[in-house]
Amino acid sequence: MHPWTGPTVSVIPGTGEVPLIRDDITGRLQPSVVGERADLYVCGITPYDSTHLGHAFTYLAFDLLVRAWRDLGVTVRYAQGLTDVDDPLLERARATGKDWWRLATSQAALYKSDMAALRVIPPDSYRGVVESVPQIVGAVERMIDAGQAYRVPVPDAGASSLGDVYADLGADPGFGSLTGLSPEAQDRLFAERGGDPDRPGKRQRLDPLLWRAARPDEPSWDGRTLGRGRPGWHIECAVIAAGELDQPIDVLGGGTDLIFPHHEMSVSHSRALTGLDQPVRLTMHTGMVHLDGQKMSKSVGNLVFVSDLLSRGVNPAALRLALISHHYRDDWEWRGREVAWAEARLARWREAIGSVKPQGHSGEAIAKIRAALAADLDTVSAIAAVDEWVSAAPLARDRSPYAAADLRRAVDALLGIKLY
Ligand code: ZN
């Protein structure tokens, strides 16, 4: 699936530092890449209610990581999935009387145009669940053969139904190691976030669905020995990541609401499919954007959309700057006035960088931006470094247009903000 057309990215002198990321589990800063190649998987959207500011905040964080890796000079391989068939999408289509596939494709198209407007570098591999069904079927078949998955009869489905397929978490001694949650917390979050702990016939309450046998009025695909049906949620990311990236992948990412069960389950499936104890080196999760005191979410319905803001004339560079003015791991409240502040900051940056006198350099400011981003993508300090240079600009006699050009290129390459 074609993602979107990416922005041109400026080249700046020198190279950046290895970005350190604070690992969710250990709480320690860890190198985000250890070799010449960096592999990143980020969970994509379920295409309805796209693209709200919570989505944008998440994908901008990983865009900053990709930019820092490129600046370091490593080869980046970035894969992103698209959950283009899933229960919430089908429910929304049903509730609004829309065809589910039209809803998915139109919302995916909107997401892509929003990402392009925000100058987000597209993933190298962008794969939908629907186009990945044959690979997912193969993976589930292998898990059944290996004794890592089992069938559960579907009530009232008749003798011809082969049943649903669930992963047997009892076969994975590593399950739970990603998040370290208590069994009580696991059970609660599983029930809250799409799981079915009380489904009769399962071996363990937390066992996740791998393949849902076809039901009336639901889309389904040929599942070969599984029978017709559609994939479960967590297996899709494990299969797409395994197919597109070197294992172990360096960073697995998404919003904090994906840590459990989605990423714990996905990594469990990846262990089953790859035979590796640790198929993921690091996880990176982004904070939640709130509105009126509550997390911005589809279920609550308190959403602010990128496309609405842009259609009201908001400058996409100002929106991008407003969003990355918050550290990626922080939860924060959207108040709306951030855009005006970002517009004012952009105006100051443009004016100062265009008005400086000959001779001098901006190397120190660029080094500060690089150092800030290498320290767990500290955009707050990176932006402060640009502010510092800009506020000194009218006073300095030793600043050249060349220095300004270098800084302009650095702001573009590292922060994704184009000042010209
Ligand atoms: Zn995922």
pLDDT digits 0-9 by tens, 83-127: 999 999 999 999 999 999 999 999 999 999 999 999 999 999 999
pTM for the structure as a whole: 0.95
For residue 304, give the nearest of 116, 54, 60 by alpha carbon. 54
**Distance separating the N- and C-terminal Cα atoms of the chain:** 32
Considering just the CA atoms, what is the radius of gyration of the chain in Å?
Answer: 23
Measure 175 CA to ligand 1 centroid, in angstroms: 17
Q: What is the pLDDT of residue 316?
A: 97
Measure 261 CA to ligand 1 centroid, in angstroms: 10
Q: What is the pLDDT of residues 353-372, one digit of tens each?
A: 866 553 446 889 999 999 99
Measure 102 CA to ligand 1 centroid, in angstroms: 22
Q: Which residue intervals of 32-76 are DSSP H helices?
A: 53-72
At residue 48, φ and ψ (nearest 5 deg) are: -150, 155
4, 115 in Cβ contact below 8 A? yes
Measure 234 CA to ligand 1 centroid, in angstroms: 6
Residue 282 tokens read as 């690091």
Helix (H, G, I), strand (E, B) or coil at 99: coil
Q: Does a cis peptide bond (omega within 30 degrees of 0) precede residue 51?
A: yes
Q: What is the pLDDT of residues 3-31, one digit of tens each?
A: 999 999 999 989 999 999 998 877 899 99
Q: How far is CA 361 from CA 366, 395, 407, 413, in A?
A: 10, 14, 9, 18
- Domains of the chain, start order: 21-286 (3.40.50.620), 294-415 (1.20.120.640)
Residues with Cβ within 8 Å of residue 342, at least 6 apart in sequence: 318, 319, 321, 322, 325
For residue 117, give the nearest of 179, 50, 69, 166 by alpha carbon. 50
Q: How many helices and strands (H and E) does the chain possess?
A: 13, 14
Listed residues: CB within 5 A of ion ligand 1? 43, 237
